[in-house]
Amino acid sequence: MKGIIIYILLGLSVVSIYAQKKQYSFMDIEAFYGIALEHDKSLETAIQGNPFGFIIGYNLKNVKETDWLAYYNYPDFGFSALYQNTNSNILGEMYGIYTHYNFYTSNRNALNKLQMRVALGLGYITNPFDAVTNKYNYTLATKIAGSAYLKLNYQREFLKGKLGLQTGVSLIHFSNAGFKNPNLGLNTIVATLGLNYNLQKENPTFSKKRKRPKERNKVKYNFILRAGVNESKIPNSGQFPFYVGTLALEKKLNFKSTITVGADYFKSDFLNKYLQDEIEEQTGVPNTTKFKTDRIGIFAGYELYVHNFSVVTQLGYHVYAPNKYVSNIYERLGVKHEFNKHFFTELTLKVNLFRAEGLEFGIGYRL
């Protein structure tokens, strides 16, 4: 209980510092209650009850007359913190800190709004996997993990003075991206109910949402180098580096949408140890065979742009994989930041049928 109180006070102190510096901002706090998704049979023992907790946030209302803010209906930018009690002795408690954007589909000058929040951050896990003391927690093997949540809300501001009401549903995710296994991750769907409090007496006036003129864009070539460290799905099998080279063609459809197709070359050193361990488990005899760790994949994808950032989503298939791992189908999810029209960086997660394989740190060049 002391930890929760300290956590709330720390969050409030950070919020108050920002609130003193910014105008047109609001705070919100929501309690939640829901269910943990059993997306793998091995989680049956670990999931024991209904998770509950709260999310507290500070939000800055963007009122600047810039093109990208107007095109996206003036989204809020903010910081948030989360506490989740999994209601399970095996899974324990989870904490998260995030940066987020609030997007609105309704009139920004209305008091009643439909809001979607996208949040990315880091989490702290109190009860990670341990082969001796906590062997049934297949969700996470590290105390520090990545975390994200997606929240859909009905929001009513200035219901009573500066105080308002909001409610909705959220999907909360924790994963360490395959740095150490087991790492099935934890996904929780929750219902939320809470209050918002505007730090000013009235709302700013937002200009009308602008329409972007049509653009004509040529097909462009992207060269990307990615790297990282990961571990196979066998716990305590060791961490190994991996490398990825990508050639992609992109076609920008408009100011926010781009489609891509391309090919990946993977050099995944963890595969050698994984295959050796699999054979040893089956035969009972140590194996020192050197296996091929190369794979080639093709993919198609979509990118959603928000100013200089974009959300990357791709679906691929290993057309060359002499040694299969989990599945030849793979997905890639992540974010991209563009420095200029040529250079960009990426942080992406490669997934095999919902099982994280590795977190990829990438740098790219657009021709």
CA dist 84 to 100, 121, 192, 347, Å?
18, 15, 13, 26
220-366: CATH number: 2.40.160
Neighbour-count burial for 354-365, b at 16+ CB within 10 Å, e otherwise: ebbbbbbbbebe
Alpha helix locations (H) across 22-100? Answer: 67-71
**What amino acid is encoded at 361 in this protein?**
F
First to last CA, the chain: 55
What does the pLDDT profile of the chain (367 residues) look like in tens digits? Answer: 444 444 444 544 444 444 444 478 999 999 999 999 998 899 999 999 999 999 999 999 988 878 888 888 999 999 999 999 999 999 999 999 999 999 998 888 888 999 999 999 999 999 999 999 999 999 999 999 999 999 999 999 999 999 999 999 999 999 998 889 999 999 999 999 999 999 998 888 888 766 666 667 899 999 999 999 999 988 889 999 999 999 999 999 988 899 999 999 999 999 999 999 999 888 888 888 899 999 999 999 999 998 889 999 999 999 999 998 989 999 999 999 999 999 999 999 999 877 889 999 999 999 9
DSSP character at residue 42: G
Task: Count Cβ atoms below 10 Å from residue 9 Cβ, excluding itself.
Answer: 10
Q: Which of 169, 177, 216 is nearest to 194 (CA)?
A: 169
* Token pair in block for residue 6: 């300290």
For residues 81 and 86, give the distance between their C-alpha atoms in angstroms, rounded to a whole number: 16
* Cβ 24 vs Cβ 204: under 8 Å: yes
Reported pTM: 0.85
**What amino acid is encoded at 351 in this protein?**
V
Vertex 105 angle, CA 170 and 354, to 5°: 40
Q: What's the pLDDT at 353? A: 78
For residues 146 and 99, give the distance between their C-alpha atoms in angstroms, rounded to a whole number: 12
For residues 314 and 144, give the distance between their C-alpha atoms in angstroms, rounded to a whole number: 26
In the chain, list all ranges with CATH 2.40.160.20: 2-198
* Cβ 146 vs Cβ 123: under 8 Å: yes
| Half-sphere exposure of residue 20: CA atoms within 13 angstroms, side-chain side | 5
* Token pair in block for residue 291: 């296996």
Pick the CATH number of 2-198 from 3.40.640.10, 2.60.450.10, 3.30.300.30, 2.40.160.20: 2.40.160.20
DSSP character at residue 134: B
Q: Which of 197, 187, 131, 186 is nearest to 159 (CA)?
A: 197
* Cβ 27 vs Cβ 14: under 8 Å: no
CA 66 to centroid of chain Cα atoms: 27
Q: Any idea how long the chain is?
A: 367
